Amino acid sequence: MGEIMKEFLELMKEVFRIHGYDVRTDELFDFLAVNQREELGVIVLERIDSKDLSRIRKLNGKILLITPRRIPEKVKEELERAVYEIWDRERLEREIGKAIIKELFGEEESEERGGFVKLCVSEEDAMWICRSFFGRCDGAHLRYLPFWVYEYDVRGLREQDGELIRISGSGEGALNAVTGENYWISLKNVERTEEAEGEMLQPEIDYEEAVKEVKKRIKERHVVRKSFKRIVRESLISEVKKFYPEDGEIELKMELLYIPVWEVRSRDRRVELNGYNGEP
């Protein structure tokens, strides 16, 4: 690694430190970036060739690939299937800029306030439900958890060996903006309100990150597997190819929505109840 890339690597470590990550050394990655929500294995490359791609495919975990170069679309499509996320030159310009502003002026209060699901389960009801689990209840605490709620449509077309393959689908879901957990559920018809009555947790995952993560989940959900047969040296070979939707083939509508959750305590045990419908 040349001197410029060494300086660039140190800059990347500092960017993650500014964003609250613990930066650790590792044998397989250039460094690990760790916080309470995730552990990223970070690989920093000036240019990416077939050997790099082959090595990356053998690694496990959440892999973040960083390169100061722009990546051709065909190469990027291959990389997106092998890694968790890619920071190319365009993304780096944004991330480094965000880190500098944050270091100079601190964390800005989020303008993305979002709506609130109506609280329909009272504290008394939550404690009554808790008693059915534990026989007794010592108290309840109300929090509003942020979720990125979305609807999507997928429309794509591929051609392989003269055959047209259609990639299509639609659905709804919710991405926990703190933990990153995804749920294939519909929240379209829940009652809403403009005010929260308890503690409100702030999102750890911003809109841009949520779009990236949700599209990754949608691609995995709507991959088309197709079997093709061909003759090689008089032998009939069958192979299965996977066709993933591309970013441009996914129409996504997303908003931030806070869901009320009761944390009910009984001695050293706790249970979380949905404050809208009372479900655990």
**Cβ-contact 141, 263 below 8 angstroms:** yes
Domain check: are 45 and 145 in the same one?
no
d(CA 219, CA 181): 16
* 173 has a pLDDT exceeding 70: yes
Domain check: are 260 and 122 in the same one?
yes
Domain check: are 244 and 263 in the same one?
yes
* Domain annotation covers residue 76: yes
Domain C-terminal end among 78, 105, 132: 105
The domain tally of the chain equals 2
Torsion sign, CA atoms 37, 40, 46, 48: negative
* Domain annotation covers residue 263: yes
* Domain annotation covers residue 141: yes
Domain check: are 20 and 50 in the same one?
yes
Q: Indicate the burial class of 247 (C-beta count within 10 angstroms; 0-12, 13-18, 19 or more).
A: middle
Write the CA distances from 17 to 28, 73, 99, integer angstroms: 20, 30, 9
pLDDT per position as a tens digit, 57-115 = 899 888 999 999 888 777 777 887 788 788 988 889 888 988 898 888 886 554 456 79
The whole-number pLDDT of residue 109 equals 52
Domain check: are 71 and 167 in the same one?
no
Strand partners, 242: 225
d(CA 137, CA 129): 9
d(CA 8, CA 2): 10
* Domain annotation covers residue 280: no
Torsion angle of the four alpha carbons 179, 181, 182, 188, in this order, in degrees rounded to the nearest 10: -50
* 246 has a pLDDT exceeding 60: yes
d(CA 49, CA 72): 12
* Domain annotation covers residue 110: no
Domain check: are 131 and 270 in the same one?
yes
Note if the pTM is more than 0.95: no
Instruction: Quote the domain boundaries for residue 85.
Output: 3-105
DSSP percent split of the chain into helix, strand, coil, nearest 5: 30, 40, 35
The whole-number pLDDT of residue 111 equals 47
Q: What is the average per-residue pLDDT within 15-30?
A: 94
CATH of the domain at 36: 3.40.1350
